[in-house]
Homo-oligomer: A and B are copies of this chain.
Amino acid sequence: MMNEFELIQNYFNWEHNEPSIELAVGDDAALFNLLPGHQLVTSTDTLVEGVHFFKDASPSDIAYKSLAVNLSDIAAMGASAKCFTLSLTIPKLDHEWLEKFSSSLKESSRLFNVHLIGGDTTKGPLNITITMMGSIEIDSAIKRSGAKDGDDIYVSGDLGTAALCLKKIIDGESPNLNELEKLHRPVPQLELGSALKHVASSCIDISDGLEQDLSHILKASDVGASIDVLKLPLDESVTEYVKNTSDWSLPLCGGDDYELCFTANKSNRDQIRLLSENLKTKVTKIGEINSSKELKINGYDGHSSSYQHF
């Protein structure tokens, strides 16, 4: 028998040497200092068994992805991630599962230089909620509401690979390693987000699909946009899929691509090309913002079907 206190001590009380964290796991609340002139940036995301991952999913993948999806939201603000709380609801005390989950979370935390500072463990159907906290210089965050008529629209990385992977699994086909990597181990665009401060006019993490998430930028900014399906960045698998099926819904609406969609004034084109080269991060211009208040997707007449939670 292990009580919650022992569970936390065993699996989730890691050493850290981050001077801004005065108190992490082990008190009623954590204490954390922001740098002068910075503000707190915070976001929360939940993964639920059977909805966000399959029932037999690897605990290592679940831990990694719980962290990555939250980091992606911090990246979309241009902010630096610092620390997080974990609320872990598990059906039973399965030490093998906990050991794998905890090791992967610890390893992933180190990879992204973020620190677990608190949490709660409860009994119930598997549910992982992380609340990520970061910071950014005041007046520097990239909001959804800053897109302007005439701005270019960009996306990072490739689109639709995670959705294609999921489709293959559901259809009983075998995804290749690159596809599985994109679904289970998405890489949050933290460096790109940070480099886009004072360069991008708006930014969003396209985890629910480009079409739906770009629409959030348009609504928040009170503008419209025209994008072109032939400009969408696709990897080989998705290129092949679209060629065979003429179905653009995966890259447009597929979701689970933890890439950034952002807008920028045309005068920033050289700067964006340069930062893309420096960071070795693919950035593709896919269209322009206009004053129409509509999203026009040239070359796509399909039914919009971005990820719906309900």
Contacts and interface: CB of A to CB of B under 8 A. Distances in A.
- Contact residues on A (Cβ < 8 Å of other chain), bracket: 35 or more
A161 to B, nearest CB: 21
Nearest to A134: B29
B87 A28 contact: no
B216 A77 contact: no
A129 interface: yes
A174 interface: no
Contact of A124 (B23, B51, B121, B138): B51
A28 B124 contact: no
Contacts of A230: none
Given A27-B77, A44-B87, A122 B3 contact: no
Contacts of A40: 30-34, 40, 133
A51 B90 CA distance: 12
A223 to B, nearest CB: 16
A289 interface: no
Interface string A1-20: 11111010000000000000
Interface string A116-141: 01111111110101011110101001
B41 A31 contact: yes
A271 B169 CA distance: 66
B4 A310 contact: yes
A55 to B, nearest CB: 12
Nearest to A119: B44
Interface in A29-78: 29-34, 36, 39-52, 73-74, 76-77
A28 B73 contact: yes
Nearest to A4: B309
A28 B2 contact: no
Contact of A125 (B87, B127, B131): B127
Contacts of A92: 310
A46 B129 contact: yes
Contacts of A121: 309
Given A28-B205, A77-B29, A124-B50, A216 B23 contact: no
A209 to B, nearest CB: 11
Contacts of A134: 29
Given A27-B143, A29-B77, A43-B118, A5 B131 contact: no
A277 interface: no
A240 interface: no
A89 interface: yes
15 contacts: A2-B310, A3-B308, A22-B141, A30-B41, A31-B41, A32-B39, A42-B131, A44-B118, A46-B87, A48-B123, A87-B87, A122-B309, A125-B127, A131-B131, A133-B133
